[in-house]
Amino acid sequence: MNAHLEQLSPRPLWRHFRTLCNTPRPSGHEAALVAILERWADGLGLAHDRDAFGNLRIRKAASPGFESAPGVILQGHLDMVAQANADHPHDFTRDPIETRVGEDGWLHACDTTLGADNGLGVAAALAILEDEALVHGPLEALFTLEEESSMGGALNLAEGWLEGSLLLNLDSEDRGQVYIGCAGGADVIVEAQLPSAPLVDHEVALRLSLTGLSGGHSGIDIHKGRGNANRLLVRVLRALEPFGARLVDYHGGTLRNALPREAFATLVLPDDEQASASERVAVLQEELRAELAGADEGLTLTLTPHDARPAEALTEQASQLLVRALHVAPCGVERMSVAVPGVVETSNNLGVVSLEGGRFHLCALVRSLRDSATEDLADRFRALFELIGARIRVENAYPGWTPNPDSPLLARFCRLHRERLGSDPEVKVIHAGLECGILGGKYPQLDMISFGPLIRGAHSPDERVELTSVAEFWALLRALVEDLARGEAR
């Protein structure tokens, strides 16, 4: 599958990306890919090992005469976000990613995420390792696990293991930019068992569906005005409270770090309110479409009869308490940065919400450039949902990456960018959880930057990468590795 990828340039990079597309690798299922990479390293005579968590390191000795050059770590994560369109059956643990080259000069997947995030960074590191014409100092390629689901690989990375002093994170998504700082974050988990009551004779069951949103990355895209399916469907449920609506179940979003594109709820209400409720939903659809115009087209909101009659629904009080708590929960941009203009400082994504058999579950992802703000927003969730008797825990917290504008590595990258591409790169701080913050906490001596090709629509089936930017990224990475080995004074 995906043989056409090997016809693209640069061929070594795209050959490795084909392997990644053909090997299922959602978070938590990277073992098959790790085994493939270990066999590949053995075939080239490259040393490799894993830490206790399973993160993979592949090493290559310096080119003769460059043994004293600073060690360079090429870093990326092996897993990818698993998202498919609702009408496209795809088993991310078994099925390869099917790709196509569009007439627009971009590579797309067919109704699923592409895995360019971070597959292209991984492919580039592998291509560097096998490049016999490249002059380089000591090289390490660090491939972490479970970045998309929990940052687990970086959080559990062995200390005292890595040897290099310079780290090139290959997990950025904008050409002409280099990142020197990122947000930290934490998962906020909310759970509760809510009381239910049997249906009464005059109640009817209905299915409420909200679909058609764009989705996207819950950090990079959080400020773009796109809809959050959970936030919007809860708003609709709140509007249906006067009709006596009671929740039976709810399912919205699939990943805490992806903006939810769809949400669905089963509810019951008095049969004589059904017509009025349907009219209200139709009005709300037009209102929401108008609010999202120009930012997120395609929203569809429907209220239809449910096929089966449920035995129970939440009590009216429990249903109202849950909907109201979700309605006021922080969602979206909380604060813009003053220190870094134009960058989101603090945000939250209502990523995954479910209700089944009275059991409520919420997984939100809080992000901030300030660790204290991450902690405060997580505590606001605790204070809010404790009011309805829920249990709250904070997991997978990771620190931000403090920018260092005076980094020698950054200066060298900017010079090369200027020489090769004729322009200075934009030096940026990203509102997303690059692993650099965690790695820097474990290895404070590291000088780090992050850069990559132009990727759009990450974490959604709209994910795509511009082909010319991949060639540009590869050439710049290759030149940087060689420049760092030669240590040229400019």
Structure tokens at 220: 């990079």
274 and 206 in contact (C-beta within 8 Å)?
yes
Task: Return the higher-pLDDT residue of 14 and 257.
Answer: 14
Q: What is the pLDDT of residues 409-420, one digit of tens each?
A: 999 999 999 999
User: For the segment 105-152, what is each residue's pLDDT rounded down to a tens digit?
Assistant: 999 999 999 999 999 999 999 999 999 999 999 999 999 999 998 889
pLDDT at 480 > cutoff 70: yes
The C-alpha torsion from 438 through 440 and 444 to 445, rounded to 10°, is 150
pLDDT at 389 over 80: yes
CA distances from 49 to 140, 277, 369, 468 (A): 11, 60, 33, 34
472 assigned to active site:
no
CA pair distance 169, 452, nearest whole angstrom: 8
Which two structure tokens, joined as six digits, stand for 392? 């709250």
Provide the pairing of β-strand 166-169 with 72-77.
parallel
Asked if 311 and 321 count as a contact pair (C-beta separation under 8 A), the reply is no
Query: Structure tokens of 454?
Result: 């132009």
**Catalytic: which of 30, 51, 79, 296?**
79
Candidate list 117, 147, 221, 463, residue with the active-site label: 147
User: Which residues are within 8 A (CB) of 99 and not within 5 positions of it... i.e. 6 or more apart?
Assistant: 2, 4, 5, 21, 107, 108, 109, 110, 114
DSSP class per residue in 346-359: EEEEEEEEEEETTE
Q: Over the stretch 277-324, which tens digit does the pLDDT of each residue have?
A: 999 999 999 999 999 999 999 999 999 999 899 999 999 999 999 999
Would you state the pLDDT for residue 150? Answer: 86
Query: Is 79 assigned a catalytic role?
Result: yes
CA distances from 454 to 57, 69, 105, 281, 468 (A): 26, 30, 12, 39, 9
